[in-house]
Structure formats: C-alpha cells, structure tokens
Amino acid sequence: PFHRISQWTRAFFQETSLLKVGLHIHLAHDSTPCPSSRTDYSSDPVITVVDKSSVHSLSICYCHCPDMQLFQAGLFLASFTRPKTAFTFAVLDDFLLDNLECGTSAMNYYSKLHRLTSSIFPLMVPDRYRELMRAARQWRQCKLYKWHGFAHKDLALFCPACPQPGINL
C-alpha cells in the first residue's frame, strides 16, 4: 500500500495520495474489515507512514491491539502511547545500512525522503526527523538483541553451537 499514485482529472494525471482516494488499511482478518466493527471508517486515525519510496498518510483500521497489529504488518511505531507515525521495517533497515556503510546522517537521509516524496515542494512533507531518530535507535537496539540472542525466542536467531535440549544435547 505504499505506492505513489496519480489520479486522472479529465485533462491530466495529478499526483494524489491513497488517503484522498479513500483507501483504508485493515490490519487484522487478512486485510479485510473486521466482522464485529463498524462500517463508518471516517473516524479512523490517520497515521504518517515513512517508507523507502516516500512519506505517506494512511487511514489505519485496527481490530484490537494497534501496537501488535502494526508490528505484524511490518510497521514500527515512533511512539507507543499515541501512535501517529510509523516506519516500515524496510526504511529502518535501509537507514541503518546507509548510516553504517556511507556515514549518512539521519538529517540527510530524511532530506532524501523529502525529495522522493515531493521534489518540487519538499517542505510540504511532514517533518518526522525526530521520530526517525527515536525509531532508528530502538530498531538498532532490537536488532542487537536479536543478533546476540537476548530477545524473545521468536526473535532470536538459531545458534547451532549453543546447547539446545533435544537437538544437540
């Protein structure tokens, strides 16, 4: 759902957003509306989603727990108390790689995302630089926990050298 789209206006194609054409993303029930939920989606929260391609505003429909549903959808929240911004796992991995290999600062990386979103008016793009800094630190910490085996068993990598009951003991 992170595509940049254009809409025909009877004269030319005009860039628009998925929010403006009425897309609502349903996180649970295999991306279909929850059978126990309402049919009016106008009150659903609009979340700014930062992806490798650009910055998007999307209407997200939750079923129960928004934190876990966004995480299962491949989105990392910038704030867990009032989620208004989410980063895709791909953009966080891409930023960590650019930062490690090229020495790209978060400011320069987010400036690049501004230009990808709107090359003519990059200042019209929502500024989520502080949120990128926070999410990137948390993402890096989660990756380190996973790589070193300190995370939950579902996140930790399998280590064949470590004693595993029933496997190599």
Q: What is the pLDDT of residues 104-123, one digit of tens each?
A: 999 999 999 988 888 888 78
Contacts of 142 (CB under 8 A, 6+ apart): 151, 155
Running DSSP on this structure, what letter comes out for residue 45? P
Share of the chain above pLDDT 70, in %: 78
Q: What does each C-alpha distance from 161 to 47, 146, 158, 169 come to in angstroms?
A: 43, 16, 9, 11
**What are φ and ψ of residue 101, in 5° steps?**
-85, -40
Which pLDDT score is estimated for 155? 60
Write down the pTM of the prediction. 0.75
In angstroms, the CA 72 to CA 157 distance is 18
Which pLDDT score is estimated for 72? 80
Which pLDDT score is estimated for 37? 60
| Mean pLDDT of the residues in the chain | 79
Which pLDDT score is estimated for 93? 95
Mean pLDDT score, 46-63: 83
- CB of 30 within 8 A of CB of 23? no
Which pLDDT score is estimated for 38? 57
How many angstroms separate the first and last alpha carbons of the chain? 46
Sign of CA dihedral 1, 9, 42, 132: positive
Which pLDDT score is estimated for 96? 93
Give the range among 2-6, 75-79, 131-135 with minimum mean pLDDT: 2-6
Regarding predicted confidence, which is higher, 68 or 101?
A: 101
Q: What does each C-alpha distance from 47 to 23, 25, 157 come to in angstroms?
A: 13, 11, 31
